[in-house]
Amino acid sequence: MNRFFQVACFICFCTPLYSQNMPAPGNNSFPAETVNTSILPEIAIIPEPVLMTKSSGHFILPENVMVQAMATPEMKFVTDHLQERISTATGSFISTSNNAASAIIKLVLNERANAQLGKEGYQLSVTPTQITMRANTETGLFYAVQTLLQLFPKEIESKDLAKDVQWKVPCVEITDYPRVGWRGLMFDVARHFFTKNEVKQYIDAMSKYKYNVLHLHLTDDEGWRLEIKGLPKLTEVGAWNVKKIGSFGEFTPPAADEPRNYGGFYTQDDIKEIIQYAKERFVNILPEIDVPGHSLSVIASYPELSCTPGAENYKVRSGERIMDWSRGAPPIALVDNTLCPANEKVYQFLDSVITQVAALFPFEYIHMGGDEAPKNYWEKTPAILDLMKKEGLKNMQQVQGYFEKRVQKIVESKGKKFMGWDEIMEDDLSPGAAVMSWRSVNAGIDASLKKHEVVMSPTAYAYLDYMQSDVIAEPKVYASLRLSKSYEFDPIPAGANPQYIKGGQANLWTEQVYNIRQAEYMTWPRAFAIAESVWSPKEKKNWPVFFAKVEQHFKRFDIAETKYAPSVYDPIFKVSRSADKQLLIDLSTEVDGLDIYYSFDNSYPDRFYPKYTEKITAPKDATLLRVITYKGKEPVGRMLNMPIDELNKRVGKR
């Protein structure tokens, strides 16, 4: 149905837009007549709620607002957050009280738990005179607040007092709860270091969209980012490299006289502060210590943990080439970046690290990596061959399996659950090990059928370091992932055992991400898509409706000064040859309703230039195609400069 026609169909008086026969959590069967209210411009909630009924009228925010809430420590997090967010932009005076009679906004903990809502669900009621939020827990009330804030005008995102805004909220009734429990974003702070305040900034943004796990990738070849008492070289040496700018993986090896002063680390007090900040936003922090591969920062600090002679000459990687990926994964190491599974000192080291990590991080899991560990140095190490003989190990996969089992025992001895990337499944995986499935959906399905807990984070849908548009417009990496593809993510894929699927996660690797602004650019809007995929019922997902909401949230991000990628507006280029060998250029867009204008004469097209309507041929001597997209009279896309030589190369590849 045309969404503009749907809008016209809404009736002014109170009309239920969803069936009142709600499914229980996990049951995603919805009536065929279910209608999505998010086609209304003033209601653009991400992620989409389970059930919503819109009424006529609005709640108008007064200058003095009384909030009623129970006095619990976690409730104070919620009320403080609500007070700060509303008062900053609106200037209204917010006070709290236990007096229900005078309250305009009520935050109510259910005396008897509503099984339908679970631990994170909520009910939100907005009438012309009052806003009431109900939940079984403070977590649910926090998510109710996030939904309420999205119902306010976009100016609610302002960091300063917003003037000349009518602070009104549409009257609605919402019942909502998540599809899965684990709703995560991974932030790689190892490849490039991000400050404590930048991590908090990332937490602020993700918590608005009901994410509840921040996975911090704390260690890699490029840096060790966590203070470990008793192991000072990890941060004195391992946290620093040579600053390089350009294409990661292609940098020239640093010279001996180049200063190693680029990087940083978090003190244990920093981590405690980040954890507390996240807790106040109902976000758990998952720490990752990536071993046995990706460990050059450890080897540079403590070379005795390597299998390889000469490791004392190794340095923390600065982005130079250290792996040969020509034969796929696992790579061939040019420098041995692995800890030695045959060295008892490695397990003593890891015991010291994991002891402190377990004490610092309250979350029940510790992620120990396990991905992309090269084996070519192990194959020629006498100590490894002796280990294989002693333990009856037949191949290098079993050598890593031996390592993973020993690390798992250390993690579990500290009262934590062990998690790793899906490579840990390549040998017999110990019971109790949890899998983060990244290489494919099938790896997660397989793990769930073997009764391992699984978090789905497949590259095909959830890798936020991938390019979002054509390679000519994006930081070049090895693959692309457009917004519409991310929106297809299903954290509980067909064939999986849903009992063991904990949830889903998107991952931001930062080899090519040098600062927090670029981190935001790479995360949003694709993290909108993942948020809706892991929270909303599968049957409620609708790409045209979702993108209409995304455009409303772009406006909110503009006001919040949070960066995002406009790549979804960029044209998609396809090329072919005509019968007479002419270059044929096929342009399309990821979203409907856009017009494409183009030029071949090196000038900059606008809407008065030729509009694309069908395949075009490049003039014989043209060297450059410029394109831009418009929505009506407004440019929305970026001016893209496509060399004709590049298009000819692409035809050749086909």
* Cα–Cα distance for residue pair 32/486, rounded to 1 Å: 25
* Strand partners for 217: 188, 288
* Cα–Cα distance for residue pair 463/466, rounded to 1 Å: 6
* Cα–Cα distance for residue pair 490/472, rounded to 1 Å: 30
**Structural contact between residues 188 and 134, judged by C-beta atoms closer than 8 angstroms:** no
Tokens 């921040």 appear where? 214
Q: Is 198 a catalytic residue?
A: no
Q: Which of 48, 120, 173, 220 is flagged as catalytic?
A: 220
Question: How many Cα atoms sit within 13 Å of 617 on the Cβ side?
Answer: 10
Rg (CA), the chain: 27
Tokens 């602020």 appear where? 204
Q: Is 551 a catalytic residue?
A: no
Instruction: Quickly count: other Cβ atoms within 10 Å of residue 347's Cβ.
Output: 16
Q: Is 220 a catalytic residue?
A: yes
Of 150, 264, 140, 138, the residue nearest 199 (C-alpha): 264
Q: Which of 81, 192, 217, 294 is flagged as catalytic?
A: 294
Helices and strands in the chain, H and E counts: 17, 28
* Strand partners for 355: none
Q: Which helix (H) or strand (E) holds 559?
A: helix 543-560
Instruction: Quickly count: other Cβ atoms within 10 Å of residue 111's Cβ.
Output: 6
* Cα–Cα distance for residue pair 651/654, rounded to 1 Å: 5
Q: Which of 173, 288, 336, 372 is flagged as catalytic?
A: 372
* Cα–Cα distance for residue pair 424/272, rounded to 1 Å: 29
Question: How many Cα atoms sit within 13 Å of 601 on the Cβ side?
Answer: 5
* Cα–Cα distance for residue pair 643/471, rounded to 1 Å: 12
Residues annotated as catalytic are 220, 294, 372
